[in-house]
Structure 1
Amino acid sequence: MLRSIQLGAALSACALGLASWSIETDHSTEHTHGLFEIREEARRFISHENARGDQQWEVLEPNLKTLVPRCAVPLETQWTPKSLGRSKPSVMVICTVAVPNSVMKRWDVHVPVKQEPNPTKAATDPASP
């Protein structure tokens, strides 16, 4: 009986910890690169893309299960190549040199994006409501 109470208490504590965690609080540490910074890099890339053309994109959240080592060099970004087989558009945030670790020397995280309607185009399109 005591073990089931302890297990219940431990699970409740874990659930509370996960409930207070969000991408907004997942910042880089000495050993890991935070999803907040990864998403912000994708947002910078999309901001430049939106300024260039007719299509407007919104950055969504990267997979919250992603855990990568801290990057030792500035992050790079590009559109995820179609050849990688992803079904929806995404921005690839790339680390070419991770801090020394036993898991990976480099990494990339795919941050999904969705296309937004272009308000300027919609205002001039007679077919739009």
Structure 2
Amino acid sequence: MKTENLRINQLSSKAYEWYLQYLKALDTLDIEAYGRFLAPDCSVQSNNDPAMKGKEVVMQGLAGYWTTFASLEHDLLNIYGSDSCFVLEALNHYKRNDEKTVAIRAVAFTDRNEEGLVTSVRFYTDTTPLFA
């Protein structure tokens, strides 16, 4: 994960450290670690696709998606919002399964409950270069 390009961060230090661990689980493609951040009734939606609803469905869907590329690294640009509702602007660096690399801009809106677990993620990106 790259943080040196982070320009604006509106999260508290505690929430920021939590978010770095969350993103680390994504960047290492560790579905079990990622699952520990999710509320049982969470939902994850990509672009205009139907939302995946429920922790097990989300974990199964993401585990399958993560096999379509070799690696991922988030390059954090800006984080706006509060500790419970925020948006990340990032440049995501992917290594495709054919070893080619692509960088894709993305934004992710994240909501957390009172226990600090993720209840909703909506991310918007154009992954066309990843699968070209």
TM-score for both structures, normalised by structure 1: 0.29
If each structure's helix is expressed as a fraction of its own residues, which one has the higher value?
1
Bigger relative CO (Cα 8 Å, ≥ 6 apart): 2
Considering only CA atoms, is the larger Rg found in Structure 1 or Structure 2? 1
